[in-house]
């Protein structure tokens, strides 16, 4: 039995310690906002926060997560009021939406560590998150808007 802290809630899960966190989130706990894309840390769809860092849950062993804090897209904010979520709605960023949870989780680390990111900062930080619909330009704009909302205290 492994105890996990996910979105500030403790869960006891009876799974093989080698199981990737993504499978536990989706199949065991029903937190399906985090998506399976490639399974080898190449696309970013499965990005979650582990002790505040944007890790790829598809290659993160669940045993390595015990005793640490996991935040998924469901737990990024209580009511969808994170500056990124506001900006994403404002600019209507998603097309199919599949990658967007991962995009937002990566962007959340960026604007936490860099309050006023340049386009280059955004491109460097988001290069590991792939969008098959090609919404990159709206993602970039929305991150700039979110940073602005954040700077204004939103």
**In this structure, what DSSP letter does residue 123 have?**
H
Q: Which is nearer to other proteins, 9 or 113 (CB)?
A: 113
For residue 84, the minimal CB distance to other proteins (Å) is 12
Q: Which is nearer to other proteins, 9 or 134 (CB)?
A: 134
CB of 67 to other proteins, least distance (A): 14
Task: Quickly count: other Cβ atoms within 10 Å of residue 12's Cβ.
Answer: 8
CA quadruple 74, 76, 77, 78: dihedral sign:
positive
Is residue 56 within the footprint of other proteins (CB under 8 A)?
Answer: yes
Q: Can you tell me the distance from the alpha carbon of 154 to that of 151, in angstroms, rounded to the nearest whole number?
A: 7
**29 or 38, CB closer to other proteins?**
38
* Closer residue to other proteins in complex, CB, 15/41: 41
List the interface residues with other proteins, window 59-88 (CB under 8 A).
Answer: 59-61, 64
**Span of 2-10, 29-37, 48-56, 69-77 interacting with other proteins by CB under 8 A:** 48-56
Which residue, among 59, 63, 20, has the nearest Cα to 41 in the 3D structure?
Answer: 59
Q: What is the number of other CB atoms lying within 10 angstroms of the CB of residue 101?
A: 23
Measured between its terminal Cα atoms, the distance across the chain in Å is 40
Q: Which residues bind other proteins (CB under 8 A)?
A: 40-42, 47, 53-56, 59-61, 64, 105-107, 109-110, 113-114, 121, 124-129
């Amino acid at each position: 039995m492994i105890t996990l802290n996910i979105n500030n809630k403790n869960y006891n899960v009876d799974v093989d310690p080698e199981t990737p966190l993504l499978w536990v989130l989706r199949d065991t706990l029903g937190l399906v906002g985090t998506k399976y894309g490639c399974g080898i840390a190449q696309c970013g769809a499965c990005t979650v926060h582990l002790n505040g860092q944007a890790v790829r849950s598809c290659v993160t062993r669940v045993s390595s997560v015990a005793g640490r804090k996991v935040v998924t897209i469901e737990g990024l904010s209580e009511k969808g009021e994170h500056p990124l979520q506001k900006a994403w709605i404002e600019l209507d960023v998603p097309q199919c939406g599949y990658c967007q949870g991962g995009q937002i989780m990566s962007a959340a680390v960026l604007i936490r560590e860099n309050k006023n990111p340049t386009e280059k900062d955004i491109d460097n930080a988001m290069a590991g998150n792939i969008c098959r619909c090609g919404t990159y330009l709206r993602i970039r704009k929305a991150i700039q808007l979110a940073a602005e909302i954040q700077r204004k205290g939103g």
